[in-house]
């Protein structure tokens, strides 16, 4: 059975179009409830959401669907995705649900799930839910219907958890930090975390109105953070996305640091402390400069498919702790079971405070290679894998790059596009090679 509704990170789409409609979400909640009920005990599910106006509608539908299958529901209100994962584990719930479309605009929404251990669920579980969606509903009797209640201190519990990941002997006193929550789920949480650890906090992107999530703010639009850091003469800037599982950072000079660089900082800091770092997991898009810098320090580097769930799978399979994506999804499995923008920022700040160094100083000698990305639209039924011309040009480009660069060619999962990436220390070479590969398909 193939998945019809689940993508790489739950179910996502435009509100009002299937599957992001109240009737489908009601059925989805019922199907999830029936899968949970197979365990034989009365399940309990936590539901959190971001700040999109559609969250109210979808939350009600999901709650009703779960209740109709005999499942109890705890409503957490607006809470970051990693906060829901943490509370699912801490409260011994059977499942955590997040209503969010992450970094997408407000007109989109989605639903993703966490296991009782606070981690992403396997494909097999998603297939079970999809199978249940194809079955006729099986309502429980009136006496067996699930109940629902609200957890009023969900945000406070998560704030304390985030602070607990910061070394107790360190403080952020004396630092001015701009915090951009993308008008999203961390709007009432992120500023408090850094303030309570001693920082002078300037909050932007912390005034959601249901329509402005990710709108020219946050990790996907870091220009606002850069401007604010410069204008306020701040020491650091921290940008999250709408559900706060993604992180970008800015230093006092206004320089932006992506997930690859921040991942290196966290790994290097552990090495300086004498902690074992057997390996780090990146993705097919991770920058080659970071891979080289880590391997030169004796740290193995493995690449997973693009998507934090695949990074997590690779980490678990290898027994490693650190991984992430350039987009800012970072995982530290000894700190949290899933990617967490706030916890990641605290680990990077701890490295800066403990060493008394700036981000630029911690990354001295690590310069990201230019990456040229081109999208080539494919003709209907065009089999790019069978193209002898593409294969010939690819071999030529790889020979030209040698060990100083690399080529990545992959099909888009959502559009009839072929994504071509060439990475090289020489930006002109990367651009020239990428265009040669694209032209080989157009000819």
Residue whose C-alpha is closest to residue 165's, from 319, 299, 349: 349
Cβ-based neighbours of 36, under 8 Å, separated by 6 or more: 43, 45, 69, 71, 94, 95
Question: Is the alpha carbon torsion for 288, 294, 298, 301 positive or negative?
Answer: negative
- Token readout for 430 is 């990367």
25 neighbors 58 (Cβ within 8 angstroms) = yes
Whether the Cβ atoms of residue 440 and residue 392 lie closer than 8 Å to each other: yes
Beta carbons within 10 angstroms of residue 408's beta carbon: 15
C-alpha 162/C-alpha 83 separation (Å) is 9
Is 337 a residue of the active site?
A: no
Which residue among 54, 102, 327, 424 is the active-site one?
102
**Cα gap 179→217, rounded to integer Å:** 11
Task: Give the other-Cβ count within 10 Å of 303's Cβ.
Answer: 16
What does the alpha-carbon distance between residue 150 and residue 108 come to, in Å, rounded to a whole number?
A: 25
Closest to 100 measured CA to CA, from 55, 45, 47, 151: 55
- Name the phi and psi angles at 124, rounded to 5: -60, -40
Q: Which residues are catalytic?
A: 102
């Amino acid at each position: 059975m193939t998945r019809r509704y689940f993508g790489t990170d739950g179910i996502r789409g435009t509100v009002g179009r299937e599957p992001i409609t109240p009737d489908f979400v009601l059925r989805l909640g019922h199907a999830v409830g029936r899968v949970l009920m197979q365990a034989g005990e009365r399940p309990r599910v936590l539901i959190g959401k971001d700040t999109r106006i559609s969250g109210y509608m979808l939350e009600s539908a999901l709650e009703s669907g779960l209740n109709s299958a005999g499942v109890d529901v705890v409503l957490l209100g607006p809470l970051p995705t990693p906060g829901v994962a943490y509370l699912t584990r801490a409260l011994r719930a059977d499942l955590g649900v997040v209503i969010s479309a992450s970094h997408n605009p407000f007109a989109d929404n989605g639903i993703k799930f966490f296991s009782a251990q606070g981690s992403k669920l396997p494909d097999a579980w998603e297939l079970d839910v999809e199978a249940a969606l194809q079955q006729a509903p099986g309502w429980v009797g009136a006496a067996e219907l699930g109940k629902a209640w609200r957890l009023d201190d969900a945000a406070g519990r998560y704030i304390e958890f985030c602070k607990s990941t910061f070394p107790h002997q360190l403080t952020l006193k004396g630092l001015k930090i701009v915090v951009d929550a993308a008008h999203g789920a961390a709007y009432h949480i992120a500023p408090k975390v850094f303030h309570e650890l001693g920082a002078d906090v300037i909050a932007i992107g912390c005034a959601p109105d249901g329509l402005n999530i990710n709108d020219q703010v946050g990790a996907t639009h870091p220009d606002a953070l850069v401007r604010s850091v410069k204008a306020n003469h701040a020491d650091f800037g921290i940008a999250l996305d709408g559900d706060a599982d993604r992180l970008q950072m800015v230093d006092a000079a206004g320089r932006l640091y992506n997930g690859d660089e921040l991942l290196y900082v966290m790994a290097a800091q552990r090495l300086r402390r004498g902690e074992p770092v057997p390996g780090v997991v990146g993705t097919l898009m991770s920058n080659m400069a970071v891979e080289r810098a880590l391997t030169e320090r004796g740290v193995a580097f493995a690449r997973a498919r693009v998507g934090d769930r695949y990074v997590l799978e690779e980490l678990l399979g290898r027994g490693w702790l650190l991984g992430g994506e350039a987009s800012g999804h970072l995982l530290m499995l000894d700190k949290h079971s899933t990617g967490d923008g706030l916890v990641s920022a605290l680990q990077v700040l701890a490295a800066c405070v403990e060493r008394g160094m700036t981000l630029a100083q911690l990354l001295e000698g690590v310069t990201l290679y230019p990456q040229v990305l081109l999208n080539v639209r494919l003709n209907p039924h065009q089999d790019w894998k069978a193209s002898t011309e593409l294969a010939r040009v690819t071999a030529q480009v790889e020979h030209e790059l040698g060990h100083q660069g690399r080529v990545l060619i992959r099909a888009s999962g959502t559009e009839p596009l072929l994504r071509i990436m060439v990475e090289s220390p020489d930006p002109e070479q990367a651009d020239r090679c990428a265009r040669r590969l694209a032209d080989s398909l157009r000819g």
